[in-house]
Amino acid sequence: MKAAILAGGMGKRLRPLTLDRPKAMVEIAGRPIVEWQVRWLAAAGVKEIVLCVGVLWEKIKERYGDGTSLGVKLHYSVEGEPMGTGGAFHKALDYIKGEPFFGMNGDVMTNLNPMRLREETGKVGALALIPFRSPYGIVVTDGPVIESFKEKAVLSDVWMSAGVYYFSEKARKYLPERGDVEQTTFPQLAGERGLAGVKFPKAFWRTADTVKDVEEANKEGATIAKALGSLADA
């Protein structure tokens, strides 16, 4: 099984952390984000990974080379200019050929078991889903009386994409040469009922999209390291 990671983000919202490195090389709990991702995929049985890279991509290759130190084989699909998430996956097909593969966003750290996405046979693709966590505090009421406040509450009946995907062999024709899968591939597949959603209500999931995200994640370093040490099937 192969995978492609969108590791070409400039990380504008992570500056100054990304002034001299790509977003994928920003460290969380002692390791660059991309290393957490590669180790997670390797633990799930993925041994060949395409890194979809762009600005300052040489920093990643200098650190990890062909992937031997991480127990995988790494390829570098270099974009001369931004091509969108769909374009990046499309370009990665040069290394993946006609095989099914996992895809994932470059700022996600999780322990969900991606192999569960393959169980949705008959579909062109599948998305890992997690409960929506509100970025705002919510107010719990009993009639006109306020009972409590909850910060970043998890809404268990509302689901969001975890940024982890499965593409079958049939997905090639749905990936644009330029453009984002969120605006092209996934809406089209959903309209054709060719896209599955696999729910992971208990999996660990964390994103590092802003400096605040990184600061909060690093405060929970030990917790994150422990969570990412095993795969979650649920």
Tens-place pLDDT, residues 99-140: 999 999 998 999 999 999 998 768 999 999 999 888 778 888
In 79-194, the DSSP E strands lie at 101-105, 108-110, 125-133, 138-142, 145-150, 154-167
Judge contact between 78 and 53, C-beta under 8 A. yes
As a whole number of angstroms, the distance between CA 36 and CA 128 comes to 18
As a whole number of angstroms, the distance between CA 134 and CA 51 comes to 30
Paired tokens of 158: 């509302």
Helix (H, G, I), strand (E, B) or coil at 76: strand
When mean pLDDT is compared across 20-24, 67-71, 86-90, 191-195, the lowest value belongs to 20-24
Q: What is the mean pLDDT of residues 66-76?
A: 95
pLDDT of residue 34: 95
Q: What's this model's pTM, rounded to 2 decimal places?
A: 0.89
Mean model confidence pLDDT for the chain: 89
As a whole number of angstroms, the distance between CA 129 and CA 160 comes to 5
Q: What is the mean pLDDT of residues 58-87?
A: 93
Q: What is the mean pLDDT of residues 24-41?
A: 92
Q: What is the mean pLDDT of residues 39-55?
A: 94
pLDDT of residue 125: 95
As a whole number of angstroms, the distance between CA 143 and CA 164 comes to 39
Paired tokens of 58: 């040489």
pLDDT of residue 111: 92
pLDDT of residue 156: 74
CATH class of the 2-130+160-227 domain in this structure: alpha beta
Question: Whose CA is closest to 108, among 153, 162, 173, 69?
Answer: 162
Per-residue pLDDT band for 157 (boundaries 50, 70, 90) equals: confident
pLDDT of residue 195: 95
pLDDT of residue 32: 93
Say which residue, 86 or 12, is predicted with more confidence: 86
Q: What is the mean pLDDT of residues 47-53?
A: 96
pLDDT of residue 43: 92
Q: What is the mean pLDDT of residues 130-154?
A: 83
Q: How confident is the model over 187-229, as pLDDT tens digits?
A: 999 999 999 999 999 899 988 888 888 888 888 777 777 887 7
